[in-house]
Structure 1
Amino acid sequence: MANLVNLESVSKSYGERMLLDGVSLGVGEGERIGVVGLNGGGKTTLLEVLAGISEPDSGRVSHARGLRLGVVTQRTELPEGSTVGGVVLADYAAEHEWASNTRVRSIVEGLGISAIGFDTPTDTLSGGERRRVALAATLVADLDLVVLDEPTNHLDVEGVRWLADHLLSRKTALVVVTHDRWFLDTVCERTWEVVSDPVNTASGGRVEQYEGGYADWVFARAERARLAAAAEEKRRNLARKELAWLQRGARARTSKPRYRVEAAEALIADVPEPRNPAELLAFAKRRLGKTVLELEDVSLTAGERTLLDHVTWRIGPGDRIGIVGVNGSGKTTLLRLLAGEVEPSTGKRIEGKTVRLAHLKQELDDLPGDLRVLEAVEKVASRVMVGKHELSASQLAERLGFARTRQWTPVEDLSGGERRRLQLVRLLMSEPNVLLLDEPTNDLDIDTLQQLEDLLDSWAGTLVVVSHDRYLVERVCDSVVALFGDGRITHLPGGIDEYLATRAERARRHREVRAERPPREATPTQKLSAAEWRAATKELAKLERKLDAVHERESRLHRQLAEAATDPDRLMELNGELKAVLAEKDELERRWLEISEALE
């Protein structure tokens, strides 16, 4: 198998921080490689050096002759003044050229490009929409190698599964940085770990190679840890707990060599279950009593959309619930309703008297920029009880990735991932007994995710999580509910697998209903000549496509209105856009009715 890209003794540093140190790697034809490591440890730098975006300080990077390479990093920019269709379908001169291509149609639908709208200016898109447009523009091309940096960010559970299926169906080689462990396990055949030293930044920069995806990497890393020195004891214990989860859960793999399975089984022989549900539930009831959060006959709207329609939902002590649904289905708004930050249209929200609620939002606007990391944590509390253990502010910060030396960094100098971790530390230091987490995995590396899950394992309280990371939901939650857009909260005993199956069945029924509609008369009527009839049917089809696009734009604006509920200026701007869209929709529907009547 010929290599598409070779790195030979490549080194790269920024200031005193060594990110890559004498790294030699190769990417072969059709290989699918996942890249893992700590935030700020050099993963993005490795991708940019490999793709030729950034030059190494020393060493050599060589690409195969005529290599067709597609790259989407977190720094990818869209052309100024462009439209969504102009970026994604730049290589297609006419609509019929891409519409007849099954792969391109799948990408356009799978990544929600149609919902964004082909005529939408890219300058008006949100960060998540821009990432999806850049990803779609890359995937529509015929490529030998795709390099992706955090492609699952801003995708819902269904979108992540679509992307995994799409990449598996192509023969294209892949190098991907992602913290989504389900995605790593499903797609990748090899794993590269960028090893960094957060304490001594001048060391590190190695890249360790492993066969297999996330589960194989955990097995192999735990096996190395079993033989490592005492300095690695903390990491080994965490890896053992992660192994216990993998081995006992539905994710356990059977494709590993027998010697590795036996070694892992010996390693986890005395490891208890990740958490004791009975013990945590008893403790939660003592802390919370019988009533925690309840919604009684609640209706909730966002613009003209109905998110909840006379729903009654009771969340009890010790419940650990995951909420899933497509982007825009109202998950974040539901969390805000539970937190008491928005009022229902009808019905009432009930909160128990002993509830101490903490809400992790996606925004990072509640951090004191004038303090250092440890000062920002100690401003909340100096000590906290996590399960049966008392931790100091410094110890909890260290468990979530802030080394002792890093704890004196000014908050304003932190990266996005570090600010997210600090937000989590401050949240846990407040000792809540009800946690509402909105996309807690955003910007967190895998090691930090393991530490967070380890903390949540021993946390006694009520937990409600919105996340596209199905691994996290399956690991820390005991039940799953879904928002399907029908105004209800649907309990799913089968978890995320049942959610995906239900979504697929609903889509199948929708296609069948559309297929069963009686076809239009295929001959000219007495009212129209043959030429007029052909022109009318062509215009009707064009109007239907425009109506679909307008409907998607209307849905997107409703979602944005819900998100901008606390920003009056943005609300006025979005309301103006919505009025224009509704006026356009009325005109299109009026014209559609005219032509339909003429064809009858």
Structure 2
Amino acid sequence: MPLLTLDHITLNLGKPPLIDDVSLTVERGERLCLVGRNGAGKSTLLKIVAGDVEADEGQVRVDGGRVATLPQDVPEGTEGSVYHVVAEGLGETGALVERYHALTEVMAEGGEIDFDELQRVQQGIDAADGWNLQQRVESVITHLDLPAEAEINSLSGGLKRRVLLGQALVQQPDLLLLDEPTNHLDIDAIDWLESYLKEWSGALVFITHDRAFLRALATRIVELDRGKIRDYPGDYDTYLERREQELAAEEKAQAEFDKRLAKEEAWIRTGIKARRTRNQGRVKELQRMRAERAERRHQSGTAKVTVQEAQRTGKLVVEAEGVGFAYPDGKRVIQDLDATIMRGDKVGIIGPNGVGKTTLLRLLLGQLEPTEGRIRRGTNLEVAYFDQHRAALDPDATVQDNVAGGRDKVTINGAERHVISYLQDFLFAPERARQPVRSLSGGERNRLLLARLFTQPANVLVLDEPTNDLDADTLEMLEARVVEFGGTVLLVSHDRAFLDNVVTSSIAYDHDGIFREYVGGYSDWLRQRPEPARAEAATPASQAAPQPKAQAAEAEAEKAAPKRLSYHEQRELEALPARIEELETEQGALEQQMGDPEFYQQEAETIRQAQERLAAVQSELATAYERWEELEARRDIR
């Protein structure tokens, strides 16, 4: 019997229905990913399953199991310490565990406690077999890097969601509902969460924008599209292939239908003679076709992201030599940083939360001055900075006013455009553009931030976690525009697929404030980084989430990386033949030049430079051939 059954669920929030006669079953042990465009109703469907929203029609049945949820927004009234909120997920036993923790913390600090109360709490935990639960709470708090004693109301929105994720995980429910669980997690925490969920025996229904996370976990994909669902057993790449085929077939069928309808419309408009003899059955069929055409729901278009490019910078953008930074209290955040960023580089900045990535960005951009070393910046830098926290939207202003500041037009690449037309490129319909920001979903808000950012001409793009809540189609369009952008990009992201597809080099955190440069993206960094220290043995899954060894984490990340060529690799493959031809031409010219006896009558320095250049060309040519063969072999892999 299925663990979860949705039976003809319909929810009307206007015309057409947001969720239209949806039926679905989920078996025990399945890991189902719910995908779809921003605003399609994915989070709402999850809320219906959780019982937070009531459907207009249909039933939801959970067969005797416990359900735990990670919502997209923090519920009102959530308060207490982080430890208290996480332990709250365990009900009465959790309250005992939390009280025991509080009493032992007071003892550890030399305070006085009521030992009779401590004994009663211990007896209660013994009776409920709750010591494993205490270990589970502490393990989850550790792995999600949560400040156990902090008050939840003092935390940022991102940290609050991590606390709620911990509360959901400690329950170990039969059905776990996760809405964008990787938002605000760093890569280490995402790796841990992947490992935990792979070994967990319950059913999982989740929404995510993180394609590497999706590829690693999903055993089944369900797409919510125009109120209906499409079911795709198997992995993400299979879903992409089948979805493309189905949409092509749908487009062809609609074109044939429209052709028949046009023919019937022409017939009904013929003269008196034809109308006298017309077939009443044919008239009724025409009326049915008109009604069917009127009810058709078109798929949302694809966002048309355009990045305004300012005048080019100088060749050098930023050069850091022996840079260190310490705050006035003496806390050292950055030390011994050496980095060179040239025009056109796409640089990913990788590291756990709280290690100084934002400080590193501010140093490179000149918003902070180093306490040690030297930073040299290039000329003519015009920076556009995407920062979800600083670039706060006015929730009471309309979408169009947040972009145009009350004006009707924006200037894009030197030409004026009406703001409504510009917002349609970012998939905001005219009526949506006139609504207040508070009515938008998380993904729509992120698209709006991008729309506002790209009204600024720039030759340096700084993107701090730009991928949160974006649907897959918008993510791929953003990837393409960033890759095509002729300027320089500094990207802070925990999205491994986005890093692999976009960046040409990485600056990754090593230890104790040290960041190192690496060639390539996330997967390249994993291969090149120093061997990390081995992790301690994992805790049994029945007691707590397992901590994978560093070597296993690396293998999992490699496995999660897409097998197909990324967009960046496709572009690289297309450019390689021309580059190989250019190198072969230069090699031939050098060999011909050096074959001339008069060549060796020149100055020794000139001869040496030519010989060194020939050796460099030959080495580069060998590398280019090897890379071309590697990419060519993977081109048709799906």
Q: Which band: TM-score by shorter chain?
A: 0.5 to 0.7
Return the match for 2:249 from 227, 230, 236: 227
Change beyond 3 A, Cα 1:503–1:126: farther
Alignment match, 1:8: 7
Is the 8 Å Cα contact of residues 518 and 528 (structure 2) preserved in structure 1?
Answer: no
Question: Residues of 1 paired with 2:420 and 2:70: CA distance?
Answer: 37
User: Contact 1:34/1:213 (CA < 8 Å) preserved in 2?
Assistant: no
Instruction: Tell me whether 1:435 sits opposite 2:461 in the alignment.
Output: yes
Structure 1 equivalent of residue 323 of structure 2: 298
On the 8 A contact 2:311/2:459 being kept in 1, the answer is no
CA contact (8 A) 1:98 1:104 kept: no
Match of 1:459 among 485, 488, 511: 485
Identify the residue that residue 71 of structure 2 maps to in structure 1.
73
Aligned position for 1:255: none
Q: Report whether the alignment pairs 1:112 with 2:145.
A: yes
Does the aligned pair in 2 maintain the 1:98–1:105 contact within 8 Å? no
- 1:213 Cα offset (Å): 3.6
Task: Note the C-alpha offset of 1:424.
Answer: 1.3
SS in structure 2 opposite 1:508? coil
* Change over 3 Å in CA distance of 1:484–1:78 after alignment to 2: farther
Does 2:126 match 1:126?
Answer: no
Closer/same/farther in 2, CA of residues 351 and 385 from structure 1, 3 Å limit: same
**Partner residue of 1:144?**
174
In structure 2, C-alpha distance between the alignment counterparts of 1:369 and 1:174, rounded to whole Å: 33
Please give the TM-score of this superposition, normalised by the length of structure 2. 0.63
3-state SS in 2 of match to 1:30: coil
Write out per-residue CA displacement over residues 109-161 of structure 1, whole angstroms, 9 at most, x where no aligned residue. Answer: 22123xx12x3333333222222222222212232111111111110111111
Superposition deviation, residue 411 in structure 1 = 5.2
TM-score (norm 1): 0.67
Give the direction of change, closer, same or farther, for the CA distance of 1:13–1:348 in structure 2 (3 Å limit).
farther
Mapping for residues 153-164 of structure 1, pairs under 5 Å? 153-164=183-194
Runs of 5+ consecutive residues of structure 2 not aligned to the other structure: 102-124, 256-306, 538-638
Structure 2 distance, partners of 1:4, 1:81, is 32
Shift of residue 98, structure 1, vs aligned partner = 4.4
SS of the residue 1:45 aligns to: helix
Looking at structure 1, the residues matched to 139 and 312 of structure 2 have their Cα atoms a distance apart, in angstroms, of 50
- Does the CA-based 8 Å contact 1:82-1:121 persist in structure 2? yes
Which amino acid is the alignment partner of residue 32 of structure 2?
Answer: I
The aligned counterpart of 2:28 is 29
CA offset at residue 490 of structure 1?
1.1
Aligned counterpart for 2:427 among listed residues 397, 401, 411: 401
* Amino acid paired to 2:199: S
| Cα displacement string for residues 63-89 of structure 1 (whole angstroms, at most 9, x for unaligned residues) | 21x212211212453865532223333
Distance in 2 (alpha carbons) for counterparts of 1:331 and 1:411? 29
**In 2, Cα distance between the equivalents of 1:500 and 1:449?**
23
Instruction: Indicate whether 1:342 and 2:368 are aligned.
Output: yes
Looking at structure 2, the residues matched to 378 and 458 of structure 1 have their Cα atoms a distance apart, in angstroms, of: 26
Kindly state the Cα deviation for residue 232 of structure 1 after the two structures are TM-superposed: 10
- 8 A Cα contact 2:178 2:205, kept in partner: yes
Whether the 8 Å contact between 1:298 and 1:348 is mirrored in structure 2 is yes
Cα deviation 1:498-535 (Å, max 9, x = unaligned) = 655788943428x69xxxxxxxxxxxxxxxxxxxxxxx
Work out whether residues 357 and 434 of structure 1, in 8 Å CA contact, stay in contact via their aligned partners in 2: yes
Q: Where does structure 1 lack aligned partners over 5 or more consecutive residues? A: 196-203, 234-279, 513-600
- Equivalences for 1:487-506 in 2 at 5 Å? 487-493=513-519, 495-497=521-523, 499=525, 505-506=531-532
C-alpha distance in 2 between matches for 1:406 and 1:319: 36
Amino acid at match of 2:313: L
The 5 Å alignment of 1:345-360 reads 345-360=371-386
Paired residue secondary structure (2:55): coil
| Deviates most, 39-48 or 133-142 | 133-142
Q: Indicate if the aligned counterparts of 2:182 and 2:208 stay in contact, CA closer than 8 A.
A: yes
- Residue 489 of structure 1: SS of its match in structure 2? strand
1:186 to partner: Cα distance: 0.7
Amino acid aligned to 1:154: H
1:340 Cα offset (Å) = 2.5
Deviation at 1:342, TM superposition (A): 2.4
CA contact (8 A) 1:191 1:217 kept: yes
Paired with 2:463 and 2:84, the residues of 1 have a C-alpha distance of 37
Q: Do residues 471 (structure 1) and 501 (structure 2) align?
A: no
Q: Based on CA coordinates, which of the two structures has the bigger radius of gyration?
A: 2
**Corresponding residue SS for 1:326:** coil
Name the amino acid aligned to 1:189.
Answer: T
C-alpha offsets along residues 366-407 of structure 1, whole Å, 9 cap, x if unaligned?
657787545654569845459xx9998666533332234434
Aligned pair partner of 1:205 in 227, 230, 240: 227
Displacement, 1:445? Answer: 2.4
8 A Cα contact 1:148 1:176, kept in partner? yes
Q: Distance in 1 between matches of 2:25 and 2:315?
A: 58
Task: Indicate whether 1:193 and 2:223 are aligned.
Answer: yes
Distance 1:508 1:98, change over 3 A: farther
Counterparts of 2:221 and 2:78 in 1: how far apart (Å)?
36
Q: Distance in 2 between matches of 1:313 and 1:504?
A: 18
Q: Cα 1:348–1:44, aligned 2, differ >3 Å: closer, same or farther?
A: same
Separation (CA, whole Å) in 2 of partners of 1:342 and 1:403: 41
Partner of 2:121: none
Residues 232 and 329 (structure 1 numbering): CA distance in 2 closer, same or farther, change over 3 Å?
A: farther
Residue 196 of structure 2 corresponds to residue 166 of structure 1: yes
Q: Distance in 1 between the 2:399 and 2:168 partners? A: 39
Aligned partners of 2:443 and 2:357: how far apart in 1?
22
Decide which of 237, 253, 256 is 1:215's aligned counterpart.
Answer: 237
Q: 1:83 and 1:412, CA in 2 relative to 1: closer, same or farther beyond 3 A?
A: closer
The SS at the match of 1:432 is coil
Indicate the larger mover: 472-481 or 289-298. 289-298
Offset, 1:53: 2.3
Tell me the equivalent position of 1:329.
Answer: 355
d(CA) in 1 for partners of 2:318, 2:395? 33
Residue 50 of structure 1 deviates from its aligned partner by: 1.3
Q: Which moved more, 1:374-383 or 1:346-355?
A: 374-383
Q: Which residue of 1 is the match for residue 312 of structure 2?
A: 287
The change in CA–CA distance for 1:482 and 1:78 in structure 2 (over 3 A counts) is farther
1:166 deviation in Å? 0.6
Where does 1:544-583 land on structure 2 (aligned, <5 Å)?
Answer: none
**2:494 is matched by which residue type in structure 1?**
H
Is the CA contact 2:503–2:520 (under 8 Å) kept in the aligned structure 1?
no
Alignment RMSD (CA, Å)? 3.5
Q: Structure 1: how far apart are the matches of 2:519 and 2:380?
A: 29
Structure 1: distance between partners of 2:367 and 2:12 = 45
Q: Is the 8 A contact 1:401 1:448 kept in 2?
A: no
Q: Match of 1:39, SS?
A: coil
Mapped partners of 2:465, 2:524: distance in 1? 21
Please name the residue that 2:452 is paired with: 426
**Rounded Cα–Cα distance in structure 2 between residues aligned with 1:124 and 1:373:** 29
Name the SS of the counterpart of 1:46 in structure 2. Answer: helix
- Which residue number corresponds to residue 178 of structure 1? 208
Please identify, of 364-373 and 469-478, the stretch whose mean Cα deviation from structure 2 is larger.
Answer: 364-373
Secondary structure at the aligned position of 1:420 is classed as helix
| One-letter amino acid of the structure 2 residue matched with residue 22 of structure 1 | D
